[in-house]
Amino acid sequence: MTVATLTVSDDEADIRLDRWFRRHFPGVPQSAIQKLCRTGQVRVDGRRAEAATRLTSGQAVRIPPLPPAPPPLKPAPTVNPAATREIEAMILYQDDHLIVLNKPYGLAVQGGPGISRHVDGMLEGLRTPGGDRPRLVHRLDRDTTGLLLIARTAGSAAKLAAAFRGRDMEKTYWAVVAGRPVPVEGEIDLPLKRIGGERGERTAPAERDDEDAARAITEYRTLDHAARKLSWLELKPHTGRTHQLRVHCVAIRAPILGDVKYARPDQNNAFAATVAGLSEKMHLHARALVFPHPGGGVMRVEADLPPHMAETFQTLGFSAPPAHQPRRDGR
């Protein structure tokens, strides 16, 4: 292969250079891409560029001579028809850029030790003919229900991931908690860190000067309560730390129903009494997302409650409005 120049397409904007390179030349290993960048053989608009450089539409990427023999192609992934039917039933909205799912309780988003059934493993069934394999852009805990965004293309994945990293993704969760927060609304600004423990790695509050801590901010509002023993909270995380909402609810002495991992010992009696007669599943639901659509405009989506939370709402007399239909404004 001689020296060539390729132009970054609109759909490839905001992709890292190394990922863009692997997309066009899948046989070139990451180590080789990094060396080509480090030695200046790969250039963007005539300038040296690091492997992590994010590209913009219209840029010219210089491609040097590459090894002629790519490794053998991987066998085509198989599609499980039952899994495809299952994930198709979760779809709330889809277009050429993205898919919005309403994830049920108990379904993991990605695989891991002892996890063979997960959303990521079902995505091959949503591939369109000649299209990319859909890909995850964020995660929910296995026991958290609600909205999960899937990107159909690499370009859409990069734009959605950037929205999650910044302040362009407005997230709203609903939770049923034990007790009633005081005050009934406010902002929780409590740093968090990941630690080891008897039940595995977990998230814990941290001191502000702890070098392992990450700032975590959650806005909360009490939407209703039942005799001050149970409350329906609206939670809006302004940061995206692991288990942030679960730990922040414990911090205001309002643990989420069903979240036995994080309820503190001094909350156990009230917590156990509260959940008697109600579902033991975790009551945390990703209700709404407002974000820039990769194709332009603003996307607004909502997800109805899962069956166990809907039953709890009915038992407690909480009146939840039905989810609005997805809409895309300002295209």
Write down the H helix ranges in 252-299: 268-275
Q: Pick the catalytic residue from 11, 14, 18, 141.
A: 141
pLDDT in tens, 285-298: 999 999 999 999 99
295-311: buried (b, 16+ CB within 10 Å) or exposed (e) per residue? Answer: beeebbbbbbbbebbee
Match 């009934």 to its residue by tokens: 184
User: Is-contact 13 78, C-beta < 8 A?
Assistant: no
Distance from C-alpha of 56 to C-alpha of 234, rounded to nearest angstrom: 37
User: Is-contact 247 195, C-beta < 8 A?
Assistant: no
DSSP helix/strand/coil, 269:
helix
Match 């300038």 to its residue by tokens: 47
Is 96 known to be catalytic? no
Sign of CA dihedral 48, 52, 56, 58: positive
pTM score: 0.79
Strand partners of residue 221: 185, 234
Query: CB under 8 Å to 49, separation ≥6 — which residues?
Result: 17, 37, 42, 43
Parts of the chain with a pLDDT under 50: none
Q: Among residues 319, 286, 324, which one has the least CA distance to residue 169? A: 286
Query: CB under 8 Å to 238, separation ≥6 — which residues?
Result: 167, 217, 218, 219
What pLDDT, on the 0 to 100 scale, is given for residue 282? 94
101-110: buried (b, 16+ CB within 10 Å) or exposed (e) per residue? Answer: bbbebebbbe
What pLDDT, on the 0 to 100 scale, is given for residue 220? 98
Sign of CA dihedral 134, 143, 245, 319: positive
What pLDDT, on the 0 to 100 scale, is given for residue 261? 87
Distance from C-alpha of 210 to C-alpha of 178, rounded to nearest angstrom: 30
Q: What single DSSP character describes residue 42?
A: S
What pLDDT, on the 0 to 100 scale, is given for residue 13? 84
Query: CB under 8 Å to 190, separation ≥6 — which residues?
Result: 205, 216, 247, 248, 251
Distance from C-alpha of 46 to C-alpha of 125, rounded to nearest angstrom: 40
